[in-house]
Amino acid sequence: MLRGVFPIVVTPFHDDGKVDYDSLGRLVEHLLSQGAHGLGLFGNASEGYTLLASEREEMLRRIVKLVNGRVPLVASSGHTGTDAAVESSRQAQNLGANALMVLPPYLLKPDGEGLMFYFGAISKAVSIPIMVQDAPLMTQVAMPVALLARMAREIEWVRSAKVEAPPTGPKTGALKKALGEGSSNFDIFGGLNGQFLIEEFERGAVGTMPSSDITSTYVAIWRHLEKGETAAAWSKFTAALPLIRYELQPGLGVSAAKQNLVAAGVIESARVRHPTQALDADGLRELKTLRDMHAASLG
């Protein structure tokens, strides 16, 4: 089972736009030292949509070697076409990913049967767990609870879902209920930078996948939740909420997370790739205020 805080690893770039593999290595070790229970690779917060196939392959090779089995690696492998998604998924497995996070096709949006075919084709090509990424704000593809539960029952390697369809708490609870007795064998994760991770946990989620700049805070919240210390979890979450909220701005969240990692001395550059947006001068000022507030809350 996958469980806990799986930060989506940002992709560090040099100022010239090339992947900064030295910073990537430092970032991975930093996240593990912060208590990450696993790592998410090539997701939206990784700017996976900007990466070349050769870059994804090289990054995964390096991360697999560096992590060396210490935590599970969940690699994003969805695509706009089924054959391409199958190939990408098979390659991620062969390179050492422990599980796959798969978006539905989002250019030509299939119906329910089309989605069953798509995820079924990927399942037939791999032998590692598939996490269905239910992210309609990004894909405009709706996946109702009944469809997700059907995937869990009928598609062999569909073993989890990342629920990012607001309101995420109620959908998490509804999916947990729809899965019934089989829910213990199916992992429900939250996303959207953990903005509703407490409600999701209380309704049955077993993990969350935020960005990678304040991982220790998310881990502390998660540990409180698992111990039943709800008030302490809320206190820690409330202190971090201004920063979490700021990073939820569409197109700017990745830039903010990278700026925070630069400020922490983890990566060298906050460079992002087009069409990702970089914070302007006012944004940098606002972010620093929030970052200082968060640091002060940690004592």
Please give the positions annotated as active site.
162
Strands (E), 128-186: 130-134, 158-163
According to DSSP, the β-strands at 4-5 and 130-134 are: unpaired
Largest CA distance in the chain: 52
What single DSSP character describes residue 190? E
Residue 192's nearest CA partner among 260, 134, 242, 151 is 134
**What DSSP assignment string belongs to 215-270?**
HHHHHHHHHHHHTT-HHHHHHHHHHHHHHHHHTTSTTTHHHHHHHHHHHTTSSS--
